[in-house]
Amino acid sequence: MVFSSLTFLLMFLPAVLIVYFAVPRRGKNAVLFIFSLLFYAWGEPIYVCLMIFSTVLDYSCGRLVEKYRGTSKQKIGLIISICVNLGLLFFFKYTDFFIGTVNGVFGTSIPQLNLPLPIGISFYTFQTMSYTIDVYRGDAKMQKNIISFGAYVSLFPQLIAGPIVRYQDIADQLDERTHSFDKFGDGAKRFVTGLGKKVLLANNIGLLWSTISATEAASLTTVGAWLGIIAFAFQIYFDFSGYSDRAIGLGKMFGFSFLENFNYPYISKSVTEFWRRWHMSLGTWFRDYVYIPLGGNRKGLPLQIRNIAVVWLLTGFWHGASWNFVLWGVFYGIILVCEKLFLLKWLKKVPSFVGHIYIMLTVLLGWVLFAFDDFGKGWAFLKVMFGGGIGFVNADAMYQLLSYLPLMAVCVIASTPLMKKLYEKMTAKCGEGVLLTADTVKVLGLSAMSVAYLISGSYNPFLYFRF
């Protein structure tokens, strides 16, 4: 089940809201835990047992850490948690990848497991590990109530694709959080905004990428290839940031405050800045649990470069069991090291538009690596982008350009803080009544258009399902 499905919007969400607000405060975490398991079981009826196992495991490991705190046995719970969680992630996500690699290199014929990937395992595995690590470090208290801990692990608003909510950021909210009409209203607005991003922008611009990526590279023009990868860049941004908006909005509706996950990354002037704005929860997770423990930037430039390389190799690998994701991570690791050594100094001296051009070219090239699992197809697409196709432009490419130009213009504006700034100016000038009316019209309008699209449209992918 996904947030952009009619089943979720018209059945699941109303049901959980009614039950959640009908029960007393002490029963709300239990309601969230039960409904979150049902939410997950809708798409993964077998693997819900895996999630329950992870919940019980890390809850027990947290108790072990607390029981032996201050003794030599304190690390036992931490080691068990890390080893088992990473072991499960490796088994389900990477076993076939390594078997395929071994077969390809050594000419063996080891049979692959062909296990379906548990939905969201990359996300909730990192969350459960963060609990044990936070308790071990003393950054958060041990959770005594296993139901409350289960609600944290399985919390359906951010279960499938984040944001990755670290335990220390939500620990107090599990035990005590506030509910209000204002908070619920803000959450509903945020949810509907994210729904509009996904359904009206990501899905529609994604149709262009779907058409172009399905076309043989030998039949593409340079303009067509660039249109395609720009469409993919907008699709993945509005798809993923729209999911985060809906997750954060739903969290508010249930009394939680999740940290932001996107901050207009396409306005960045460097790759360093881009990755401080894109999937921020993943970046901070790797920073706090990998980069800093390795030494961060405290032990000299050579070790800092090593630490960046390790983090980005793991970041690429985290995204998928395929060599293109590893290459994508290596690509960004090299760019970030170059920025650390000299590029950032150069970018500070050049006009800002040069930085914008640099970041967009870099990101678009990165998206080619990300989008194509097949190296051959990816390389062929890259060659077309730089003049290796059937020509610069043809009638098909011009038709696609003219047809999608208005939507691309909307995507450009929506990927910047322009509308937010205009809204803030309006807020300062208008009265509460006008703002309430405007917000109501916005919510109702976006809701109606989104539901209408879902009823009539058939193209509704979710790119981060595979992670």
Grouped pLDDT means (10 residues each) for the chain, 467 residues: 80 93 92 92 84 92 91 90 93 91 89 86 88 91 92 87 85 88 91 92 93 92 96 95 93 92 94 94 92 88 92 92 92 94 90 91 96 91 90 93 95 92 76 72 82 76 60
Per annotation, catalytic residue among 179, 279, 319, 356:
319
| Amino acid present at 231 | A
Rounded to whole angstroms, the Cα distance separating 454 from 462 reads 14
Omega of the bond leading into 163 within 30 degrees of 0 (cis): yes
pLDDT for the residue numbered 113: 87
- What length is written for the chain? 467
- Catalytic: 319? yes
Backbone angles phi, psi at 459, to 5 degrees: -90, 105
Structure confidence at residue 463 (pLDDT): 64
Q: How many CA atoms lie within 13 A of 33 on its CB side?
A: 18
- The pLDDT, as a whole number, for residue 403 is 94
3-state per-residue secondary structure call for the chain:
CCCCCHHHHHHHHHHHHHHHHHCCHHHHHHHHHHHHHHHHHHHCCCCHHHHHHHHHHHHHHHHHHHHCCCCCCHHHHHHHHHHHHHHHHHHHHHHHHHHHHHHHHHCCCCCCCCCCCCCCHHHHHHHHHHHHHHHHHCCCCCCCCHHHHHHHHHCHHHCCCCCCCCHHHHHHHHHCCCCCHHHHHHHHHHHHHHHHHHHHHHHHHHHHHHHHHCCCHHHCCHHHHHHHHHHHHHHHHHHHHHHHHHHHHHHHHCCCCCCCCCCCHHHCCCHHHHHHHCCHHHHHHHHHHHHCCCCCCCCCHHHHHHHHHHHHHHHHHHHCCCHHHHHHHHHHHHHHHHHHHHHHHHHHHCCHHHHHHHHHHHHHHHHHHHHCCCHHHHHHHHHHHHHHCCCCCCHHHHHHHHHHHHHHHHHHHHCCCHHHHHHHHHHHHCCHHHHHHHHHHHHHHHHHHHHHHHHHCCCCCCHHHHC
Q: What is the model's pLDDT at position 41?
A: 86
